[in-house]
Every structure is written in structure tokens, then in C-alpha cells.
Amino acid sequence: MSGVFRNNKLDRLITNLSHIWKDQQDRMLIPKIIQALNANYDLSRKITNEPEVEEIIKQMVGRLAISYPILTEVKNKSILDIACGSNSSKLPASSVLGSLFGGRSVRANRGYTALFEPWFCRMLFELGAAPVGVDFGDLESEVFIHYKVDLGASGALDFLPDHSFDGIQDSRLFGSPEFTAEFPSQAERLKVGQEIVRQERRLLKLDGIIIHSDAMQWVK
């Protein structure tokens, strides 16, 4: 790796992630992604403050590997991230985010958290994809296409055209403290999950990929 970029924490992360892909060209993309996330979004400091951020990065990269065994194929793909995360997400001092960390307690300061920043869309953008993020939180400083959307409202995604995305994921909504507070009952969350599943089926191209969907797991 270039001597310009030396950070033991991130070097280790890059090494772990690079082994996921077999193709050398794909492996070479990983340092570029992690370096860009560090340069643009202070990834190293955020991992130091909240070690679980590293797990988020690994999780998102792992989903990409399952959906796109050849990473370069992500380029130019239109990918929707529903509840992509934002720059205004907050987390209580003591939380258990089962959907993110298998039920383990998450150590975080009361208030703002980097755990729910839009890491997946940021990675996709660095890979040359065309990510679209939707979330109710603050995304104004982000370089990818984004919309402020209340996903608790029926028809909230109706403005997006049918069959317009090569890939779709949702994974941040049902573990979000804000969503849990707004929809405390299981029946309410089920209704939202059913609406998101309906939208995912409508929005996905015929040959598109569901990268990950908490909503589909929720409504089973």
C-alpha cells in the first residue's frame, strides 16, 4: 500500500475486506474505497469513537460481495438504499440493535452516532455506481442522489418510477431508534414493512437484485 496512507486500523480493515473477492482488479478497489471514506468522512476517527462502525462497513461490503461477485459490475448500476441513514441520527446511551449486531449491546454516547451514517451509498458512489438514498434525516451534504422521505407514510416512495433500479436494499429502518419510537407496536411496524416490500417489488428491474431487505424478513 502507498506510504502516503498509513493507518494500522484501516490497513487491517482493508486487508480483511480485500480477501472477499478473488479478482485482483476487484481487490484493488477496496483500498480506494476505504481511503476515500476516511478522507471524506473521517472513518478512522469514527471507528475509534464507535468501534461498531467497523462492523457496519464489513456488513455492507459483505452484502456487496454476495450480490456482486465481480465488484466492478457495480459501476453504473442504479441502486436504491431505503432508510440509508443520515447525518442527524441519534442513539440512546444504552441500546441493543439486534438487527445490526445480533442482539449485542452497543456502546454509544447519547446523541449523534456515526453508526447510522449513509455508509452504503457512500461506498457505492466511490465504486462508480449511481446510488439513491432515501431517509428522513439530514443528507444535504452528501454527493449521491438523495430524498427526504417519511417511510412511515403510505405511498412515500410512489414518486420513484416503476422498475427503475438494478439493486435495492433496506437495512437501517427497523433498527433505528427514531423508527422504534414512532412505531412502538409490532402491528404498526408490520404495516410499514409490508409497504416497503410492495415498493421494492415495484421499483426493482426485472433482472434486478434485492441486495438485502429487512422488510421482507420482517413480513414473513
Q: What are 100's three cell numbers?
A: 445490526
Query: Among the listed ranges 83-92, 134-143, 192-201, which one has the minimum average pLDDT value?
Result: 83-92
Q: How many Å apart are CA 213 and CA 99, to the nearest integer?
A: 11
Q: Can you give the pTM of this predicted structure?
A: 0.88
Q: Indicate if the pLDDT at residue 210 is higher than 80.
A: yes
Q: How many residues can be counted in the chain?
A: 220
In the prediction, which pLDDT does 95 show? 46
In the prediction, which pLDDT does 92 show? 52
In the prediction, which pLDDT does 94 show? 44
In the prediction, which pLDDT does 174 show? 82
Cα Rg, the chain, nearest whole Å? 17
In the prediction, which pLDDT does 93 show? 45
Q: Which domains does the chain have, with CATH numbers?
A: 8-218 (3.40.50)
In the prediction, which pLDDT does 91 show? 65
Residue 132 contacts residue 79 (beta carbons within 8 Å): yes
Q: Indicate if the pLDDT at residue 89 is higher than 90.
A: no
Query: Among the listed ranges 47-51, 186-190, 195-199, which one has the minimum average pLDDT value?
Result: 186-190
Q: Indicate if the pLDDT at residue 143 is higher than 50.
A: yes
Residue 211 contacts residue 167 (beta carbons within 8 Å): yes
- For the chain, percent of residues with pLDDT exceeding 90: 66
As a whole number, mean pLDDT of residues 163-177 equals: 89
As a whole number, mean pLDDT of residues 120-137 equals: 96
